Amino acid sequence: MRRSARILSICSVLLIIACSDDGAVDPDADGPVLNSVTPSVAAQGDTVRLQGLRFGSIQGGGSVSFDNVRAQDYIFWSDTLIILRVPVDITPRLIIIRTERGETSRSDQFRLESKSLELSLPGHNGIVRSARFSPDATMLVTVGDDNDAIVWNLASGSPRIFFEVEASLGSLQADFSPDGTLLATLKGTAVEIWNIANGRLIQRLEEDTEKMNSVVFGPDGASLLTAKGLDAILWDLASGEVLRRFELSAGVLGAVFSPDGQRILSYGTTLFARVWNIASGEVLLEMEHPENVHVAAYSADGNRIMTLFERFDFSGGTGLQSGIVRIWDAEGGSLIQELGEYLETTIAALHPDGDRFVVSGWFPSQRNAALLIDVVSAARRQAFSGHSNFIYSCAFSPDGSRMVSGSADGSAKIWQVE
């Protein structure tokens, strides 16, 4: 009954999105009328044609806006046709035409979609805290503040199955087993392991009273790594027993395996991201930061580590927050590159190739966006913008060809990575 209600709720959300009048600009009855947009899918810098009525015989002070960002490069303007280039550094959505006389078109009729946006999945009531692809990238799991974990079928874009969870603030709240048949989720002080095919709970791992923050499967599928309180804990799935405990002096937000499964990387409210030898339990590397570490991840080849920490500027009395990304040599622990500062950053993810990363935040001309950044040059390689609220989770598909973003608008979006 609960799953049926949730599916009905999602369908209702889709219907509302399709039918609602969400424009912020009031249209004028005798103002411009937009009849068609060609093409309807475009990339930044592409040329588009807007056809309609009463645009004005000359542009003058007239303009075209894409989600309140004005186009700057106009090729042609007449009473019935406007040709322009899509503004750089945005993924455009709602199109609004304003004439020289100040009249405006309806803002709910046409949207220009990005070529890179592959799929939009509105399914949660609240922030999408965690999003991860299955190993074969045919499924996606999202976890929201509504305490739902949803497994999505990416071929159809529809929910496959729901699991009841207890959401935390971390970005690693659910994970697929390496063979894609099992799902691990968090439920307060426990981790629950589910059979995805039939939705049955097959195992529950729990100890003491501290709430779990993160969970990931080991590369061999035989072990599980969780983080809570002051500990990262390695579990044996066959027996359900704790194999080893990695104790820290401050709170652990998350822990992940190295690609070869021989080491773990922990991070949290300590100023260090630490690499541990699983067999011996000893600390191999300590990567120091001036503030708490919110994200840490390996590249697919295990040669690089990315960390994200926050920096606060109280000089203006506002406590402005920005995110700093650091790239480290995973073998020796030396700092390769520091990049930032990215305003109001909430999450970052390292591309499998280790040469790029995605970071969310609040960027000029791009609200609620994520940017793909080159590690060496710090250049922006691609922008992902289309959410109506902050992005709280990001992850790449195993082959790096797609990226998922989860937002406070309750949706996850799948993007093609160029």
Average pLDDT, stretch 225-231? 93
- Are 338 and 319 in contact by the 8 Å Cβ rule? The answer is no
- Are 66 and 94 in contact by the 8 Å Cβ rule? The answer is yes
The full set of domain ranges for the chain reads 32-114, 117-416
Three-state DSSP state, 340: strand
Non-local (6+) Cβ contacts of 345 within 8 A are 308, 310, 321, 322, 323, 359, 360, 361
Three-state DSSP state, 13: helix
pTM of the model: 0.78
pLDDT in tens, 375-393: 999 988 888 888 888 999 9
Q: How confident is the model at residue 18 (pLDDT cuts 50, 70, 90)?
A: very low
Burial zone of 387 (CB within 10 Å; 0-12 exposed, 13-18 middle, 19+ buried): buried
pLDDT in tens, 307-350: 999 876 655 555 556 789 999 999 999 999 998 877 678 799 99
What's the CA gap between 394 and 356, in Å, rounded?
A: 13
Assign domain 32-114 one CATH number from 2.60.40.10, 1.20.1420.20, 1.10.3210.10, 2.40.50.140.
Answer: 2.60.40.10
For residue 7, pLDDT over 50 is answered with no
Non-local (6+) Cβ contacts of 105 within 8 A are 27, 31, 32, 33, 34, 52, 95, 96, 97, 98
Three-state DSSP state, 228: strand
The fold of 117-416 is: Methylamine Dehydrogenase; Chain H (2.130.10)
Both structure tokens of 38: 């060609």
Q: Classify the C-alpha dihedral 232-235-240-245 as positive or negative.
A: negative
Q: What percent of the chain has pLDDT over 70?
A: 87
Q: How confident is the model at residue 374 (pLDDT cuts 50, 70, 90)?
A: very high
